């Protein structure tokens, strides 16, 4: 006999009043969402006119340009932050533009998204049951021995329930919020017309193809069938691996995903209270998994949030959530390792040509090669030494340097090619997690193992200092 854990009385037929249904579904009414998004171009036009007036008044153009960029960014992220579900997922994806923002703008934006995610009410049990019936069939109850109606975790487009499968395995059941896909597509239709605003933040950025790639990638995250396919590939490759655990997929549908449940200490807990050795070990495994995936599975796990990683009792790293992956049939781009190696050797002209060939510098954009290399090298410090101490102070200094909103900032001349969008997302997020861990990691050795082109025995100077960087 099945055992059902219920927090409130739910009719067997899953009935729920229209009022309660509306109160817990995503705020996806077309008129409301469109009105919020429509406010963006109007706000942008107003700020541009204001900036023109200030220029007439004699204020320096650089100050006016910075003010316009900051206010435009504030408006973009404020509106995206007020929309939930698909729009919130979109806002998270658009965090790639944070690199162009000062911390006083970027930090409140991140805080707004965090609050919205934490405050999102769970779906009513009846709605969860209806989604399960759609995904697993009318006899879905027979597939479980137990099912907890109260979610154990929530995200921007779905929530996770703990259950016991029919064969006795403890499983995680991910259920997608009804309407998340429609809301996301609607938001993108509006945002596709707003490329000019993002260009004002980074003039060297080609926005439209980037938004198109972002749309395609995030829409993929809505298809749990695709996520199951990716997770199966990772699970097969890393099965019985000495370093990693990937839960097996038990069942899947477009809007429901059932996988094995794994216990362990979340990486977020290690960040907050882990001992130094535990931090170093977790950091090494975390980086090794992210780097090894493109070589071993031909996929990059592209959501390196600490909540997706667990340190197991046996010392292995458990990995969750494969909704965001970058499929790399040819493996990791060799240009990354090659240009990193050449940059560390100080060859500015070759680095500039290589970045231009990869699309990081658009045609017609002029960049001083040495200024470009000088701008990039501090961020490559972790690859220069045998071991590197990731820490918050280093990250704060790097963030302040990179995000300075001056027209002369080299970053403003650079482009993000769509094919590198998820790679950029992983590098940025993973660097932040490593600095939260305060981990000391032999990163260069991992680059040598997993980055094609990073090793060139005829060019790499092996007499470089093999010292730990601290600070």
119 CB burial (10 A radius; 0-12, 13-18, 19+): exposed
200 and 63 part of one domain: yes
Contact 388, 471 (CB under 8 A): no
Tokens of 88: 């919130």
Give the number of other Cβ atoms within 10 Å of residue 298's Cβ. 17
In this prediction, residue 222 carries a pLDDT of 86
CA dist., res. 243 & res. 317, Å (int): 6
> Does residue 103 form part of some domain?
yes
Lowest pLDDT segment from 35-49, 104-118, 317-331 = 35-49
Given this model, what pLDDT does residue 182 score?
73
Contact partners, residue 420, CB within 8 Å, separation at least 6? 333, 358, 359, 360
Answer yes or no: is pLDDT of 160 > 90: yes
Confidence of residue 39 (pLDDT cuts 50, 70, 90): very low
**Considering only 4-18, 234-248, 361-375, which range has the smallest mean pLDDT?**
4-18
Residues 70 and 204 in one domain: yes
The confidence score (pLDDT) of residue 149 equals 95
pLDDT for 428 equals 87
What string of DSSP letters covers 84-103? -THHHHHHHHGGGGGGGS-H
- Res. 392 pLDDT band, cuts 50 70 90: confident
Residue 131 CA to residue 177 CA, distance in Å, equals 8
**Cβ neighbours of residue 177 closer than 8 Å, sequence gap 6 or more:** 25, 26, 85, 123, 157, 158, 159
What is the helix (H) or strand (E) element at residue 376, kind and residue range? helix 369-376
Would you give the DSSP letter of residue 157? S
Q: Is there a single domain that holds both residue 191 and residue 63?
A: yes
The whole-angstrom separation of Cα 134 and Cα 451 is 43
pLDDT for 3 equals 47
pLDDT band (50, 70, 90) for residue 180:
confident
* 238 located within any domain: no
Q: Is a pLDDT exceeding 80 seen at residue 86?
A: no
pLDDT of residue 9: 32
- pLDDT at residue 465, rounded to an integer: 45
Nearest to 405 by CA among 195, 109, 202: 202
- The closest alpha carbon to 323, from 461, 196, 156, belongs to 156
**pLDDT given for residue 208 in this prediction:** 76
Least confident segment among 75-79, 129-133, 213-217, 424-428: 75-79
Average pLDDT over residues 167-173: 97
Structure tokens, 255: 């809007």
Query: Distance between CA 158 and CA 174 in Å, rounded?
Result: 7
CA angle 32, 33, 35 (to 5 degrees): 65
Task: Mark whether 208 and 340 lie in a shared domain.
Answer: no
**C-alpha torsion 139→164→172→319, nearest 10:** -140
Q: Are 218 and 184 in contact (CB under 8 A)?
A: yes
Q: Please give the structure tokens belonging to residue 139.
A: 């006899």
More confident residue, 145 or 44: 145
In this structure, are 70 and 211 located in the same domain? yes
d(CA 83, CA 30): 12
Q: What is the pLDDT of residue 462?
A: 46
Most confident range (mean pLDDT) of 58-72, 90-104, 345-359, 385-399 is 345-359
pLDDT level of residue 212 (50, 70, 90 thresholds):
confident
pLDDT surpassing 80 at residue 28: no
Q: Which tens digits make up the pLDDT trace of 277-297?
A: 999 999 999 999 999 999 999
Evaluate if residue 452 carries a pLDDT over 70: yes
CA distance 165 to 147: 9
Rounded Cα–Cα distance for residues 45 and 5 (Å)? 54
| Mean pLDDT score, 10-35 | 41
Residue 463 lies in a domain: no
* Residue 382: per-residue pLDDT: 93
- Coil, helix or strand at residue 462: coil
325 within a domain of the structure (yes/no): no
Task: Let me know if residue 149 belongs to a domain.
Answer: no
Q: Which helix (H) or strand (E) holds 266?
A: strand 265-266
What would the mean pLDDT of 210-224 be, rounded to a whole number? 81
The first and second tokens of residue 106, run together, are: 């970027």
pLDDT at position 291: 97
Mean predicted confidence (pLDDT) in 237-263: 96
C-alpha span between 132 and 178 (Å, rounded):
11
For residue 57, give its domain range: 30-82+86-119+180-215
- Over 50: is that where the pLDDT of 299 sits? yes
Mean confidence (pLDDT) of the chain: 77
pLDDT over 90 at 126, yes or no: yes
Q: How confident is the model at residue 198 (pLDDT cuts 50, 70, 90)?
A: low
> Do 190 and 42 share a structural domain?
yes
Per-residue pLDDT at 370 exceeds 80? yes
CA dihedral 234, 237, 243, 246 (to 10 degrees): 30
Of the pLDDT bands very low, low, confident and very high (cuts 50, 70, 90), residue 464 is very low
Is residue 205's pLDDT more than 60? yes
Listed range (20-29, 136-145, 192-201) with the worst mean pLDDT: 20-29
pLDDT of residue 448: 94
Of 104-113, 215-224, 251-260, 297-306, the range with the lowest mean pLDDT is: 104-113
* Candidate from 63-72, 222-231, 246-255, 373-382 with smallest mean pLDDT: 63-72
Q: Provide the domain count of the chain.
A: 2
Q: Which of 22-31, 104-113, 374-383 has the largest mean confidence?
A: 374-383
CA distance 194 to 244: 42
The reply to whether 130 falls in a domain is no
User: 17 lies in a domain?
Assistant: no
What integer is the mean pLDDT of 206-212? 76
69 lies in a domain? yes
């Amino acid at each position: 006999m099945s055992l059902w854990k219920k927090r409130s009385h739910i009719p067997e037929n899953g009935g729920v009043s229209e009022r309660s249904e509306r109160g817990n579904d995503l705020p996806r009414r077309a008129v409301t969402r469109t009105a919020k998004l429509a406010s963006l171009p109007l706000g942008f036009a107003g700020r541009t006119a204001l900036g023109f007036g200030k220029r007439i008044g004699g204020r320096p153009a650089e100050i006016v340009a910075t003010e316009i960029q900051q206010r435009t960014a504030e408006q973009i992220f404020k509106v995206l932050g007020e929309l939930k579900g698909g729009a919130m997922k979109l806002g998270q994806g658009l965090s790639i533009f944070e690199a162009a923002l000062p911390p006083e703008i970027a930090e409140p934006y991140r805080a707004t998204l965090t609050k919205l995610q934490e405050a999102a009410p769970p779906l009513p049990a009846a709605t969860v049951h209806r989604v399960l019936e759609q995904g697993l069939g009318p006899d879905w109850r027979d597939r479980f021995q137990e099912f907890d109606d109260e979610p154990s975790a929530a995200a921007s487009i779905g929530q996770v329930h703990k259950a016991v499968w029919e064969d006795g395995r403890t499983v995680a059941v991910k259920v997608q919020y009804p309407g998340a896909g429609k809301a996301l597509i609607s938001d993108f239709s509006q945002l596709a017309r707003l490329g000019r605003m993002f260009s004002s933040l980074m003039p060297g950025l080609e926005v439209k193809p980037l938004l198109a790639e972002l749309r395609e990638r995030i829409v993929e995250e809505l298809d749990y069938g695709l996520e199951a396919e990716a997770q199966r590939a990772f699970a097969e490759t890393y099965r019985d691996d000495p370093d990693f655990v990937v839960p097996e997929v038990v069942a899947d549908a477009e809007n429901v995903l059932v996988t094995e449940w794994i216990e362990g200490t979340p990486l977020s807990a290690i960040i907050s209270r882990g001992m130094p050795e535990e931090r170093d070990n977790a950091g090494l495994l975390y980086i090794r998994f992210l780097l090894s995936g493109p070589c071993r599975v031909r996929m990059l796990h592209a959501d390196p949030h600490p909540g997706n990683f667990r340190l197991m009792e046996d010392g292995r790293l458990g990995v969750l959530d494969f909704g965001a992956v970058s499929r790399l049939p040819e493996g990791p781009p060799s240009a990354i390792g090659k240009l990193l190696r050449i940059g560390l050797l100080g060859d500015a002209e070759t680095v500039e040509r290589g970045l231009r060939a990869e699309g990081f510098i658009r045609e017609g954009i002029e960049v001083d090669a040495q200024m470009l290399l000088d701008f990039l090298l501090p961020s490559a410090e972790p690859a220069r030494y045998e071991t590197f101490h990731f820490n918050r102070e280093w990250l704060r200094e790097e963030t302040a340097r990179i995000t300075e909103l001056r027209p002369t900032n080299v970053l403003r001349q650079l482009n993000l090619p769509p094919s590198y969008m998820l790679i950029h997302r992983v590098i940025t997020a993973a660097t932040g997690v490593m600095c939260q861990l305060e981990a000391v990691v032999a990163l260069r050795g991992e680059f040598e193992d997993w980055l094609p082109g990073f090793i060139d025995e005829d060019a790499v100077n092996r007499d470089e200092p093999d010292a730990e960087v601290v600070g």
